[in-house]
Amino acid sequence: MKKNLVVLTGAGMSAESGISTFRDAGGLWEQYPVEQVATPEGYARNPELVINFYNERRKQLLDVQPNDGHRGLAAMEQDFNVTVVTQNVDNLHERAGSTHVIHLHGELTKVCSSRDPYNPHYIRELKPEEYEVHIGDKAGDGSQLRPFIVWFGEAVPEIETAVKYVEKADIFVIIGTSMNVYPAAGLLYYVPAGAEVYLIDPKPVDTHSDRPVHVIRKGASEGVRELRGLLVP
């Protein structure tokens, strides 16, 4: 019987692939204030700026590849029931071969209705040749197509799905996230008392928890390699 391995990943997971983080020095929030490009109010004020911002993020996906950390997690599906819960909006986990990925903050390669963002009838996966979305491109309900991204101030519908898997985890791994963004950071509170917890990050991270955590002070690729060595006989 395979153990349940649940992995929470953040921006540090994809940083080695060349995807800009938002919060670090020189990150995207320094170039684009969060209020402009990642809030419903910013979108209402200047939809063209927001749509173009995500067009650029999407095009970046064409130039990056999954790193060894992504591939290592995918390979662990041979030995564990792996669920990846990611705060990232890129598709690198899927491209590396992970088959069960829960995206808490939306998906860059998808667009949806401006009027009813979570209506599955209007959510569409874009092919690479469609990565440029324009003002005037309409969803099925006639509203402007918007990025399928959970912005600040919006609900995080997938958090409940994530909690269900975290509550059944035998092993819980945190990779490349500051543990400061809620509700994702609160997932640690749902990990069963008997589960092992690992944290992979080259920088110190405050988990805001008293439970024992096995810390691997390395980047995603090296850290996942060490984790596999510890977990896979």
Residues carrying an active site annotation: 105
At a CB cut-off of 8 Å and minimum separation 6, what does 89 contact? 57, 103, 105, 106, 107, 108, 149
At a CB cut-off of 8 Å and minimum separation 6, what does 96 contact? 66, 70, 71, 73, 74
Structure tokens at 14: 């994809």
One-letter amino acid of 31: Q
CA distances (Å), 72 to each of 39, 75, 93, 221, in order?
34, 5, 10, 8
- Is 185 exposed, middle or buried, given 0-12, 13-18 or 19+ CB atoms closer than 10 A? buried
Strand order in the sheet with 196-200: 101-103, 80-86, 3-9, 171-175, 196-200, 214-216
Collapsed DSSP state (helix, strand, coil) of residue 191: coil
- Give the bridge partners for 3, in sequence order: 80
